[in-house]
Homo-oligomer: A and B are copies of this chain.
Amino acid sequence: MSKSPQDVLSQIKDEGIELIDLKFTDIHGKWQHLTLTSDMIEEDSFTEGLAFDGSSIRGWKAINASDMSMVPDASTAWIDPFYKHKTLSMICSIQEPRSGEPYDRCPRALAQKALKYLDSTGIADTAFFGPEPEFFLFDDVRYDSKEGEKILIAKKGYFGDRLVDMATRYKADVSVIEKPWGESFSYEEIKYEIETKKPAIFAIVHAETSSGVLQPLDGIGDVCRKNNCLFLVDAVTSLGALELLIDEWKIDLAYSCSQKGLSCPPGLSPFTMNNRAEEKLSSRKTKVPNWYLDLSLLNKYWGSDRVYHHTAPVNMNFAIREGLRLIANEGLENVWNRHNTNAKKLWNGLESLGMELHVSEDYRLPTLTTVKIPPAVDGDGFRNHLLRNFGIEIGNGLGELSGKVWRIGLMGFNSSEENVDRLLNLFDTELKKYSIFESSTF
């Protein structure tokens, strides 16, 4: 416990253990890289952690392994790993450790272990939480104030709208800056707004799944710190798929999901907060209004004290543990590269077929591509054709983009060259059948 992270790191390297950077943060504001060691993620130790006979669980088939889901919810992202990797994943019912068993048998501890910083505290503080962690952020971090606290939200799509809805319900003093669906904010615009409006929290979506925009975040954290403002990031469609440097970018609070970059079933969300956010939470003068969402209680449950709070969805904890293991095995930077490379392949392929992409390449989102539905094409007809006859689902546009774009997801396990080739092939051969003209020209 008294070793410095550097000491531990050297020791591990001396022992020949492979290190994998996951670049996450911890709650104590020690802005270090998350470093996974291969012994944390080694399959055998995981199997042992599950305490079962691994041989009987291997090799069984996915539901329909020929199906690809390219909708933004990455539906088959959490099917295919079974088939390809024959992993344990989320398939088995797991027990919480029994009383008398060591804490590190706890599935959440195992999952945390996979995400935690290599720091000298020995405490894993990146927590997993129930579905949609957005729902308690404002509750926990706001001060007690009759007037409501000022929250600045930069919205550029559906999930920005949702942040506004949430903050408004908490009676925050909500300011909104807005961009059309398909554009991003510049650093200068955000800086100006933060300096002018002086919010207590600045919130933005990193990867806007509704429009296909990747918001650059570099530098915003510094602006927030200079202006005494917490920096809150929705990383739902970026964690585990795209570069997300929570520490370097000085993000104070971030949440994500299990069913996109992490290739797991939906049901749990990684969530992280640092000491700045924690201080705000602990400075509250009254209890968090909702018992279930009170992080101060949850921390006691999540920590090694294990003070009973609720019965955790343990299967999901193991599923995330396994999703992280797969990422760590591949190597995080390799995963990022895979997502970028496959997205570019898709973009180039679509353009060479004469299709037009909705978002400028400067801030186009690799995990979710919005492609314009050609005017002469029956968009829903083509989508249904792909689904019914080829087992591939792509999404319709959301909100104002409904009927105007298709949304193609390449997330987690589904981001593969093979999937891109298959889809491009079908655009080439099948799309013309859904044109109102006989030819394939759009």
Residues of A at the B interface (CB closer than 8 Å) are 50-53, 56-57, 60-64, 67, 69, 71, 73, 75-76, 78-79, 82, 89-96, 98-100, 130-132, 134-136, 139, 162, 165-166, 168-171, 257, 259, 265-267, 287-294, 310-316, 383-384, 387-388, 393, 395-396
Instruction: Pick from B51, B98, B267: contact of A387, CB below 8 A.
Output: B98
Whether A314 contacts B266 by the Cβ 8 Å rule is yes
**A135 and B60 in contact (CB under 8 A), knowing A93-B91, A314-B265?**
no
Whether B63 contacts A311 by the Cβ 8 Å rule is no
Whether B57 contacts A52 by the Cβ 8 Å rule is no
In the complex formed, the residue of B with least CB distance to A101 is B387
Query: Chain B residues near A310 (CB, 8 Å)?
Result: 131-132
A76 to chain B, nearest CB (A): 6
Whether A79 contacts B63 by the Cβ 8 Å rule is no
Query: Chain B residues near A93 (CB, 8 Å)?
Result: 62-63, 78-79, 82, 89-91, 265
Query: Chain B residues near A89 (CB, 8 Å)?
Result: 93
A301 to chain B, nearest CB (A): 12
Instruction: Pick from B257, B291, B393: contact of A135, CB below 8 A.
Output: B291
Query: Chain B residues near A139 (CB, 8 Å)?
Result: 290
A-B contact pairs, 29 of them (CB 8 A): A50-B63, A51-B63, A52-B62, A57-B61, A62-B93, A63-B92, A71-B98, A75-B96, A78-B93, A79-B95, A82-B92, A98-B387, A99-B383, A99-B384, A99-B393, A99-B396, A130-B130, A139-B290, A166-B291, A166-B292, A257-B311, A259-B311, A265-B313, A265-B314, A266-B312, A267-B267, A267-B315, A289-B289, A290-B290
**A60 and B56 in contact (CB under 8 A), knowing A98-B387, A266-B311, A315-B90?**
yes
Query: Chain B residues near A78 (CB, 8 Å)?
Result: 93
Complex Cα distance, B27 from A183, in Å, reads 43
Q: 9 additional contacts, CB 8 Å, given A52-B63, A135-B292, A136-B292?
A: A53-B61, A56-B61, A73-B311, A76-B95, A82-B92, A99-B396, A100-B388, A169-B288, A171-B289
- Copies of chain A in the complex: 2
Whether A387 contacts B61 by the Cβ 8 Å rule is no
Query: Chain B residues near A168 (CB, 8 Å)?
Result: 287
**A165 and B291 in contact (CB under 8 A), knowing A96-B73, A313-B316?**
yes
Query: Chain B residues near A69 (CB, 8 Å)?
Result: 95, 98
A163 to chain B, nearest CB (A): 9
Instruction: Pick from B90, B165, B313: contact of A266, CB below 8 A.
Output: B313
Complex Cα distance, B276 from A327, in Å, reads 49
A135 to chain B, nearest CB (A): 3
Complex Cα distance, B313 from A118, in Å, reads 31
The 3 closest A-B pairs by CB, nearest first: A135-B292, A267-B313, A52-B63
Query: Chain B residues near A387 (CB, 8 Å)?
Result: 98-100
Query: Chain B residues near A291 (CB, 8 Å)?
Result: 134-135, 162, 165-166, 169
A401 to chain B, nearest CB (A): 14
Complex Cα distance, B89 from A287, in Å, reads 39
Query: Chain B residues near A56 (CB, 8 Å)?
Result: 60-61
Query: Chain B residues near A95 (CB, 8 Å)?
Result: 63, 67, 69, 75-76, 79
Complex Cα distance, B139 from A170, in Å, reads 12
Query: Chain B residues near A76 (CB, 8 Å)?
Result: 95
Whether A169 contacts B130 by the Cβ 8 Å rule is no
Query: Chain B residues near A266 (CB, 8 Å)?
Result: 311-314
In the complex formed, the residue of B with least CB distance to A61 is B56
Query: Chain B residues near A393 (CB, 8 Å)?
Result: 98-99
A359 to chain B, nearest CB (A): 21
Whether A267 contacts B316 by the Cβ 8 Å rule is yes
Complex Cα distance, B316 from A266, in Å, reads 9
